[in-house]
Amino acid sequence: MRWKRYGTVAGWCLVCALASAATSGCDGGSMRFEGQAPPVGDARGDMLPGGGTPVVPDVSPDFAPGPRVFARLTNTQFQNAISALFVDATVRTPLEQDTNPYLFYSIGAATTQVSSFGVEQYAEASYEIASSVFDDPTRRAALVGCDVASDVESDVACARVFLERFGQRAFRRPLTPDELDRWVDLAERAALGDPWAGLRTAVAGMLQSPRFLYRVEVGEQDPGDPTRRRFSSWEMASRLSFLIWNTPPDDTLLAAAGAGELVDEASLEAHARRMIADPRARAATQDFFAQYLDLSKIEQVDRDPALYPWYSSTLPGSMEMEVRLLVDDVVYRRDADVRELFSAPRGFVNSELAALYGVEAPGASPVAFVPVEFPEDSPRAGILTLGAFLAMNAHPTETSPTLRGKYLRERLFCQEVPPPPDDVDLNLDDEPGEEPRTLRERLDAHREDPQCAGCHAFIDPPGYLFDHFDSTGRWRDDENGHAIDTSGSLDDVPLADARDLADLLSTSTRLPDCMTLQFYRHAQGRLESDSEARALHALQKRFAASGYRFKDLVLAVALSDGFRTLSTEDEP
């Protein structure tokens, strides 16, 4: 680990050379993502959503742990960590944007480098946060717990006690004696006659340390298996907390870590169950589903009110809120089969969504959302028939069976859809003077190009099922006067429309198997290795046995060998 003196912070400020720390000697050889082969079981041949071969087949070698990663805190985790360390503190300085390769910010945080400007942003944010606390006598007294400026002899004792306590919470494990000595020495030398200024500099330095910004997890020898390492009790505290709450460990979890409880499966399960029942878990669950469902794309939706008079600038936000309310309803309020998200004829609407869907919603207003049950003959059932999915996966002026089918394949069935070749003509417009054709007719003609036929035959047939929904998600009877054909298929299973698909998804095993794989990647901050296939299959079976209740999946992953152990190949 390399350190350097950073000039923008007064006194000495320790900053990791972040631009290289995540991918040089610290990363343990875990950078397997660029150019990696498709994940286990990712072939297209046997992806029947109603059953068939599971995403991870139970034909694999014995389990062996995957590699370790050094994951930087995501921006949300950074803000949550600051909020946990300081009362009423917020991060006002913009930070470098998170990336989400393979869908998840956790993977981006483990694989991307921080730019030089990003390092500056961390420095600015850290010093701004420390100053906001230490420049306020009331807040600094509450944080430190003693008067560092009372007299010379007590200065060092007070600073030492505070930095030891604060350092454990910031680094999520106890400081070593040498570390504590260095931070106390930094505070003394940076004081320049003002002990509070010295502590402010030390705290700002801690907030820029890689021990704070990164989840440094190297493991320890597993006493039960010399071929692998296990995460220590302190490391498991962070892994558990960031998985279930997306925040640093609370005092209860830190106390359990200090007592060595989190390497014991029974104790780990008890703490995981406590955390899953805590309201903080709801925010982390929403964060996972927002990434899994790609809800950030809703911010990019914009439509011309001249073409879509019912569209308003607030409609995308309403669509996102509906999905979030559905997730909370299925996962927490009813603890139901997670497949209901994609199959149940249910929604949560405010007044503008009710108008978009053409449903009665007593009590709804622009800001009040109410649950609605769609009638049996309604075309809507599940998230894939609601505004968010339909609008996110459409063009500004027309629908897109290709985008909708691609989303279905990648997100719900963990199938790989390669990008089109660079030299393919993507223009589907009719030639001047030609009789206007429907989008389906133009896509069918596009598939005559051998370069395009394979992928479009894979993603367009399920995408056609949604063609009665326009670019905003509103039902339409025809397309510019032409009859709409919504017949399609999914892996040779013929389907009439999106409602048929919802019925299929209600009993699908492929969908929850894929969700298991996606959540495992999110939890690990990396793609799975071949040696983890057996553990993944065990997770899929446990999820099925629970009735596909998402909270049970979270618990199963937290207790799994894959989450608790790591390979010895990059042993320090």
* pLDDT tens per residue across span 320-366: 999 999 999 999 999 999 999 999 999 999 999 999 999 999 999 99
Pair of tokens at residue 541: 């079976």
CA distances from 568 to 33, 318, 377 (A): 20, 48, 57
Q: Is 59 exposed, middle or buried (0-12, 13-18, 19+ CB in 10 A)?
A: exposed
| HEC per residue, 209-252 | CHHHHEECCCCEECCCCCCEEECCHHHHHHHHHHHHCCCCCCHH
The CA distance from 509 to 338, in Å, is: 11
Which pLDDT belongs to residue 10? 31
72 sits in which H/E element: strand 71-72
Closest by alpha carbon to 405, among 486, 325, 287? 486
Which pLDDT belongs to residue 432? 66
Which pLDDT belongs to residue 56? 59
The CA distance from 519 to 104, in Å, is: 9
The CA distance from 469 to 526, in Å, is: 36
How much is the CA Rg of the chain, to the nearest whole Å?
26
CA atoms within 13 A on the CB side of 87: 8
Task: Return the SS3 of 348.
Answer: strand
Q: Is 23 exposed, middle or buried (0-12, 13-18, 19+ CB in 10 A)?
A: middle
Closest by alpha carbon to 127, among 167, 74, 179, 91? 91
* pLDDT tens per residue across span 218-274: 999 999 998 899 999 999 999 999 999 999 999 999 999 999 999 999 999 999 999
Task: Return the SS3 of 23.
Answer: coil
* pLDDT tens per residue across span 10-67: 333 333 333 333 323 332 222 233 333 333 333 323 333 333 344 555 555 789 999 9
Pair of tokens at residue 465: 């099922």
Which pLDDT belongs to residue 40? 35
Residues ≥6 apart with Cβ < 8 Å to 109: 71, 72, 73, 74, 98, 525
Pair of tokens at residue 384: 């894939």
Give Dmax over CA atoms of the chain in angstroms: 91
Residues ≥6 apart with Cβ < 8 Å to 352: 312, 314, 315, 318, 366
Q: Please state the pTM of the whole predicted model.
A: 0.89
420, amino acid identity: P
The CA distance from 164 to 327, in Å, is: 41
Which pLDDT belongs to residue 28? 28
Mean pLDDT by 10 residues, the chain (572 residues): 33 34 30 32 33 50 91 97 93 95 96 95 97 95 90 75 97 98 96 94 98 96 93 98 98 98 98 97 98 97 96 98 98 98 98 98 98 96 98 96 96 90 60 72 74 84 97 96 95 96 98 98 96 96 98 98 90 56
Name all contacts of 258-263 with Cβ < 8 Å and 24+ positions apart. Answer: 258/174, 258/233, 258/234, 259/233, 260/233, 261/233, 262/233, 262/234, 262/236, 262/237, 263/230, 263/231, 263/232, 263/233, 263/236
List the alpha helices (DSSP H) in 225-380.
233-244, 251-258, 265-277, 280-292, 315-328, 351-357
Helix, strand, coil distribution of the chain in percent, nearest 5: 50, 5, 40
